[in-house]
Structure 1
Amino acid sequence: MAWSTKQLADLAGTTVKTVRHYHRVGVLDEPERAGNGYKQYQTAHLVRLLQVKRMSDLGVSLAQIRALTTNSADADTSIAILDAELEATIERLQRARAELALLLRYRAPLDTPAPFAHSADGLPEKYRDLLTVYSRVLNETVLDDTSVLLTEPDEASEPFEALTDESDGAVVEHVAQLLAVSMAAHRERFPWASDLRSATRTKGSLAQEALSSALLDTFNHGQLRALARADEILRRADAEVDPPG
């Protein structure tokens, strides 16, 4: 019994295009041809096609299938590697499902970083952008702590949000004083708050540059002035507590 390409594909539950692709990549041998030029597939081709389809369904790449064909001694090693890859894939998908569940639960936008899913509701887009950078640059401890801070009331929040590029010095100074109080409290609770450079996932200037760039793009001139002034207040307070020499 000999079959055409279409018949072989139908028997294996696949397509003619797939059969031809398997020929091209070398996982399925070409059959002999009849006098009229038509391909004549035999039982061996059907068995091989079903084997390739089975391994492909298990996640084995065609390159791996080809390698197993040429060196069956590597089968155990290849299976072990494949199993590890599938395990990692399953873990990744489970994490993705858990993150999607959080987004659904808190009705957070799809692009919200997982640590902030429960605290991002109502945040302006510019802050979500900042948190996205945070999620890439800062370590897990900082992300978890920052997520907590986002859910807590802060006396400085509303005055800070009200600042504009045109805010006068007195208003900026008032907000800076409020920020300094909040920032001092954060530093007491969270050691990393005194130096974000120590809290990045990777060392070096690149992470710090990303943080600085994100802050500059997120806040207006009045807000940046208030943040800088608050930092100055804290540094002066630290110097008074622990003077040099």
Structure 2
Amino acid sequence: MAWSTQQVAELAGTTVKAVRYYHRIGLLDVPRRAANGYKQYEVPHLVRLLQIRRLSDLGVPLSEVASMERADEQPDEAIRVLDRELEATVNRLNRVREELALILRHRAPAYVPPEFASISGDLSERQRSLLMVFSTVLSEDSVERFRDLISEPDETDEEFEALPPDADDAVIESLAERILPVVLRGREENPWSRAPTVDAPRGAEHAAQTMAEAVVQLYNTAQLRVLKRLNELLTEEAATGDAP
């Protein structure tokens, strides 16, 4: 008895497209053709398709099916390798599920780093973008510390975020002066904040440059002027020995 491509595909629980693909990549021999030109699949072809499907169900990539079959002399090792790969996949999926649960619990945007899900509702789109950039260059420990640092916003944060680009010098000076003690207090309570990039995975310089570029491009002219003035005030405080 012989089967058509459609019939053997149905018997093996796969598709005609898959059968043809197996032929193309060399996993399944092409059967003889009948006088009418149609392929005639026999039991060995069906068995082969069932083998391929079984290995695929176990998580073996098609590119590795042939090598798995050649592992008859050491089948245990091949299976152990596959098991380790599947364990890594399961762990990754469990981690993703945990992150999704966190996002749902806090109703946070899916793209927000999970470390910031709990506070994302109080942040602007610009602040979220900034945090996304920071989380890619800072160490995990620094990201957690940074989250704790910004989880208790000061009243000046909202004012800074809403600052229009055409704010005058008086407004900028006033805001910078009011932010100064907040920053000094933060540095005193969180010494880490003085050098947050020191343990960055790709180096402190790379992290600092990336973070600075994000700030420059995400904030408007007036906000950047406030940051510049704040830095000047910090330098003055340090020079007088009053700043940590």
TM-score, structure 1 as length reference: 0.89
Please state if 1:200 is matched with 2:200.
Answer: yes
* Deviation at residue 12 of structure 1 after TM alignment: 0.9
**Which residue does 1:30 correspond to in 2?**
30
**Which residue does 2:2 correspond to in 1?**
2
DSSP 3-state at the match of 2:48:
helix
* Deviation at residue 17 of structure 1 after TM alignment: 1.3
Query: Separation in 2 of the partners of 1:164 and 1:224?
Result: 11
1:1-80 equivalences in 2 (<5 Å)? 1-70=1-70, 72-73=72-73, 75-80=75-80
- Give the direction of change, closer, same or farther, for the CA distance of 1:80–1:28 in structure 2 (3 Å limit): same
* Deviation at residue 194 of structure 1 after TM alignment: 0.8
DSSP 3-state at the match of 2:121:
coil
Query: Separation in 2 of the partners of 1:225 and 1:54?
Result: 64
> What CA RMSD, in Å, does the superposition of the two structures yield over aligned residues?
2.2
Query: Separation in 2 of the partners of 1:108 and 1:23?
Result: 47
Q: Contact (CA 8 Å) 1:68, 1:74: kept in 2 or not? A: no
Q: Contact (CA 8 Å) 2:71, 2:78: kept in 1 or not? A: no
Query: Separation in 1 of the partners of 2:135 and 2:241?
Result: 34
DSSP 3-state at the match of 1:201:
coil
**1:20-70: CA deviations, max 9, x gaps?**
111111111222333443322222221111110011122111121122334
**Which residue does 2:186 correspond to in 1?**
186
1:1-245 equivalences in 2 (<5 Å)? 1-70=1-70, 72-73=72-73, 75-203=75-203, 205-241=205-241
DSSP 3-state at the match of 1:26:
coil
* Deviation at residue 162 of structure 1 after TM alignment: 4.1
* Deviation at residue 153 of structure 1 after TM alignment: 3.6
DSSP 3-state at the match of 1:121:
helix
Q: Contact (CA 8 Å) 2:172, 2:226: kept in 1 or not? A: yes
Query: Separation in 1 of the partners of 2:200 and 2:2?
Result: 65
Q: Contact (CA 8 Å) 2:2, 2:40: kept in 1 or not? A: yes
Q: Contact (CA 8 Å) 1:25, 1:62: kept in 2 or not? A: no
**1:194-236: CA deviations, max 9, x gaps?**
1233142311643322211110122222221222222222233
Q: Which runs of 5+ in 1 are unaligned?
A: none
Of the structure 1 ranges 220-229 and 56-65, higher mean CA displacement relative to structure 2 is found in: 220-229
Aligned residues: 243
TM-score, structure 2 as length reference: 0.89
Q: Contact (CA 8 Å) 2:99, 2:114: kept in 1 or not? A: yes
| Equivalent residue letter for 1:145 | R
Q: Contact (CA 8 Å) 2:198, 2:204: kept in 1 or not? A: no
Q: Which runs of 5+ in 2 are unaligned?
A: none
